[in-house]
Amino acid sequence: MRDAVIVEAVRTPMGRGKPSGALHGEHPADLLARTLQALIERAGIDPALVDDVIGGVVTQAGEQAVNLTRTAVLAAGFPESVPGMTVDRQCGSSQQALHIAAQGVQSGAYDIVVACGVESMSRVPMGSAVLPGSDPFGSMLARRYPDGLVPQGFSAELIAARWDLSREELDAYAYESHRRAAEAWKNGEFDREVAWAGARDETVRPDTSPEILAGLRPAYYDPAVAGRFPEIGWKVTAGNASPVNDGAAAVLVMGADTAERLGLRPRARFHSFAVVGDDPLLMLTAIIPATHKVLARGGLTLSDIDLFEVNEAFASVVLAWARETGADLSRVNVRGGAIALGHPLGASGARLMTTLLHALEDRDGRYGLQAMCEAGGMANATVVERL
């Protein structure tokens, strides 16, 4: 089968998802367009050669509606012949875009394709696609789950309870995320992947500590939910969960033969893929079976993987995953994760891949595994091999 390879990957710095954030003043289409421009400029290719641009966006409403990816392609100055498609697999949207791009190249449907993602949570708040008074789920789902599903914050609490994770463990993990991210910025480890010179991720807190994190109040306490789930210990806070962010990322994918023809250096190849569904009440645990599945499909074991990027939607999610898989946390999110760097929903899958690629290169690793939990109880997992 034809190899699909990564030639280039870039991202913006992650801005606070508030009106005071550094990226708030930029329309999401412009934010993605500038990222696409940076990607093509770094690769040094004619954008007319791109067969498709596939972008992840979660809240497809307001300024992020009407196929934002195509809008960004045109805004970036690409030829009008270059199409664009916007996909939604919730938090894994741009990781799913990577899967579509790579699988399209492997099948011969594409020669060159861009997988990307964007989310401006300061301008298009999470949940704003659901109209007031509307029901996005319908009666048949309600009959299947008569007690009702719950928002992600409660799912994170249920995970903490089921895996008996203490508040101290959650806060210690969050502190380590900030420490690693701050250290990575200090050492210049993000300089190659961030397209905006001199800009940094806004939500990294170098001065935080376990003591500061321990002083934060539970973010999701609700007496009705407490009555339904008495096992919940109310340990999830704003400090051990990912913040709200703005940002974009983009990855240039092509056939290995195409890269050779154009004189471009393949930096990694896509090795194996998985996408799974899991319990929609716990919602965020599908990264566990997704990891097992992608390793089995690739004929690999956990010990073969040099680095992991597992999205830190909540500390409880990554810690439960590590307990179930046996992964060594010293090889997980080595430059910090979403708790520190941020989680701009539709951009996060491409951001994780951008960080994973550069970290593999800098640490001389061979295999990297990326996994992303997603609303509705789903997860994507991807293994890449550095070349």
As annotated, the active-site residues are: 91, 343, 373
**Residue 21 and residue 247: Cα distance in Å, rounded?**
11
Under 8 Å between Cβ of 241 and 159 = no
**Residue 120 and residue 245: Cα distance in Å, rounded?**
7
Q: Residue 46 has which token pair?
A: 């004619």
**Residue 214 and residue 170: Cα distance in Å, rounded?**
10
Write the single-letter amino acid at 166. Answer: S
**Residue 84 and residue 182: Cα distance in Å, rounded?**
35
